[in-house]
Amino acid sequence: EEYDYMAVLEARMSRDMLEKLLRIRDPELHRWIADVIRVTEPAMVYLITSEEDFEYVRKAALRNREELPTRYPRHTVHFDGPRDIARDRKNTRILLPGGEKIPFINTYDRDKGLAEIRELLRGIMRGREMFIGFYCFGPKRSPFTLHAVQITDSAYVAHNENILYRLCYDEFVEKAPNLFYARFIHSAGERGENGWSKNIDKRRIYVDLHDYTVYSVNTQYGGNTIGLKKLMFRLCIYKGYLEGWLCEHMFIVGVRGPGGRLTYFTGAFPAGCGKTSTAFISDTIVGDDLAIIKPVNGVPHGVNPEMGMFGIIDGVNPRDDPVLYKLLTDPSNEIIFSNVLLTDDGEVWWNGKEGEPRPGLNYAGRWWPGKKDENGREVPPSHPNARFTISLRSLPNLDPRVDDPMGVPISAMIFGGRDPDTWVPVEEAFDWVHGIITKAAALESEKTAAILEKAGVRELNPFAILDFLPISIGKFIQLHLDFAEKVEKLPRIFSVNYFLRDEQGRYIAEKVDKRVWLKWMELRVHGDVDAVRTPTGLIPVYQDLVKLFEEHLGKDYPESRYEKEFMLRVPQHLAKIERVWKVYEQIPDTPKVLFDVLRKQKE
């Protein structure tokens, strides 16, 4: 529809803000912002273009009561509300023209979806301030990096993005109108008296691949709302698929070996399966959640598109996670806590924190020890999916190459999930194809609190990425098989399993044992240790583990434990192959080699 879009911008924006916007010489961008303003009707508009704007956003979050103050000026607390505590699989949909369907992916007719979202957005920002931020998804001036514009009426969301991503207004100004960028529109919708989004039944997260635009309404939980996090991730996977590179749900870490050499690993784990804790137990951290991987001179290189962590805080304790614990209790770090307990004396408490929880506020309202919900179940003081937002710049073990526009060379990829009874604690694949099929494509995990569904149920979660795939699993697997043609040196592939249990149901390994598995993988990458060849892969030689446990953890590694952990569980493996096969049978574009490899494994 024709209208004077400059008039709309002039009416809602101060001169100062409008000037900032017009410095980006991209009429299409101006027109789009005017469109969003016309539909959502914000009272005013604030552009986030430099770090000087961060304090304004932080104060706005406190003023709006989206965040609450604590005893420490740089620590704030946000509550999403009891029904908005995690990613909403059901209402997160990939919009496809003509109502195209993809097995195991939540798709929806694009025209219908856009019409629905337009209705939901109508007047939704009335009386509120709209924030517009310009960010990079990756290091600045890097061939890996994508760009994004975030529009939101939530100062909490904007505050998160200011911590989690690099501001990139300057690149927009420089490169417009020849800059590709993704677009995010978010509104928390109507908020109740405790600040929670009221219209949860109208919560929608719609991903429009065609326009590289994502809409998110009537929700606040970060995984549903922080545009550059899991919403951008879906667009990034799609773009990578079209262009032949990888966008992964993986950390990037450095592990030191003999002589101080540093070897880079990526690792894919579903949320709540030890991903962030593995990152912290490594020697350096590049990233803890996402990776963009492309070949550079024949070697796969990876960048972390983020500059901060939105991590699970549940269970973080001084014994198992000393570095992270110190970061989270240091008043000098800027931190947003979400869905923890905020005690009446202004302290933050989460499950794992020292001391006892005292009365205060939590994700479900007022909390006191022993509080029960309407079903008579005790309300935990902090939620299992409670989170922290912190800048990577606060980390003592940040990798020096985190801002390298060419990324770091990736020597190996790790895949792991919550598996009580099948996989050994660490195992190397025979080769790339074997690893992509039996480790990545066959990754299973028990569901965790990071999604709004019943936890504990085992499900296939290929590459730990299923929740975020905008294309079929078959195509995503093929993309990885084809990647082999693009590089001269393929990363090794490993699986890990931190969740193996004994006959009594107790975890066999301790949390810190991860460090030994990492060190063993580092030695394998360089050919410094032999391995035992089993039908499912290559496992450590007992004596090597004895040495590594002694050297890195100062503890014994009894042979009886080795036998328990590294025995090949044949019935469980056969059952797993059966389960995995049954899923892929339903996916028409599954590469044929997947069935070949599984059949061979079974034999």
Residue numbers at the binding site for ligand SPV (CB under 6 A):
87, 222-223, 229-230, 271, 289, 310, 450
Q: CB-wise, 306 or 334, nearer to ligand SPV?
A: 306
Residue found by looking up tokens 């699970």 in the block: 312
Dig out the tokens for 92 from the structure. 């997160």
Tell the smallest beta-carbon distance from residue 186 to ligand SPV (Å).
13
Angstrom distances, CA of residue 575 to CA of 381, 443, 466, 503, 578 = 38, 14, 21, 18, 5
Angstrom distances, CA of residue 345 to CA of 357, 360, 373, 518 = 11, 8, 24, 41
Cβ-contact 299, 488 below 8 angstroms: yes
Tell the smallest beta-carbon distance from residue 225 to ligand SPV (Å).
9
* Residue 170 CB contacts under 8 Å (≥ 6 apart), including other chains: none
Q: CB-wise, 346 or 352, nearer to ligand SPV?
A: 352
Q: CB-wise, 221 or 562, nearer to ligand SPV?
A: 221
Distance CA 552, CA 263 (A): 17
Angstrom distances, CA of residue 26 to CA of 39, 150, 174, 180 = 21, 16, 11, 11
Q: Does 289 bind Mn ion (CB under 5 A)?
A: yes
Nearest residue to Mn ion by CB is: 289
Distance CA 225, CA 271 (A): 17
Distance CA 229, CA 164 (A): 9
136 among known catalytic residues: no
Angle among Cα 430, 433, 439 to the nearest 5 degrees reads 75
* Residue 70 CB contacts under 8 Å (≥ 6 apart), including other chains: 76, 77, 337, 342, 346, 347, 348
Distance CA 533, CA 588 (A): 33
Tell the smallest beta-carbon distance from residue 569 to ligand SPV (Å).
28
Backbone angles phi, psi at 86, to 5 degrees: -160, 180
Closest to 118 (Cα-Cα) out of 6, 44, 36, 42: 36
| In 23-100, alpha helices (H) | 27-40, 52-63
Q: Does 427 bind Mn ion (CB under 5 A)?
A: no
Q: Which stretch binds Mn ion (CB under 5 A): 15-23, 47-55, 136-144, 282-290?
A: 282-290
Residues paired with 281 in a beta bridge: none
Residue 229's binding partner among Mn ion, ligand SPV, none (Cβ under 5 to 8 angstroms by kind) is: ligand SPV
Tell the smallest beta-carbon distance from residue 272 to Mn ion (Å).
9
Tell the smallest beta-carbon distance from residue 390 to ligand SPV (Å).
14
Closest to 535 (Cα-Cα) out of 442, 420, 414, 434: 434
Q: CB-wise, 229 or 561, nearer to ligand SPV?
A: 229
Q: CB-wise, 187 or 389, nearer to Mn ion?
A: 389
Number of residues that bind Mn ion (CB under 5 A): 2
Tell the smallest beta-carbon distance from residue 280 to Mn ion (Å).
15
Tell the smallest beta-carbon distance from residue 386 to ligand SPV (Å).
12
Catalytic residue among 136, 168, 247, 273: 273
Q: CB-wise, 87 or 515, nearer to ligand SPV?
A: 87
Q: CB-wise, 271 or 452, nearer to Mn ion?
A: 271
* Residue 376 CB contacts under 8 Å (≥ 6 apart), including other chains: none
Residue 169's binding partner among ligand SPV, Mn ion, none (Cβ under 5 to 8 angstroms by kind) is: none
- For Mn ion, the binding residues in 104-163 under the rule CB under 5 A are none
Tell the smallest beta-carbon distance from residue 553 to Mn ion (Å).
27
Element (H, E) at 434: helix 432-435
Q: What is the torsional sign of CA 566, 264, 284, 247?
A: negative
Q: CB-wise, 149 or 450, nearer to Mn ion?
A: 450
Closest to 535 (Cα-Cα) out of 477, 598, 590: 598
Q: Does 288 bind Mn ion (CB under 5 A)?
A: no
Residue 367's binding partner among Mn ion, ligand SPV, none (Cβ under 5 to 8 angstroms by kind) is: none
Catalytic (active-site) positions: 273
- Site for Mn ion, rule CB under 5 A: 271, 289
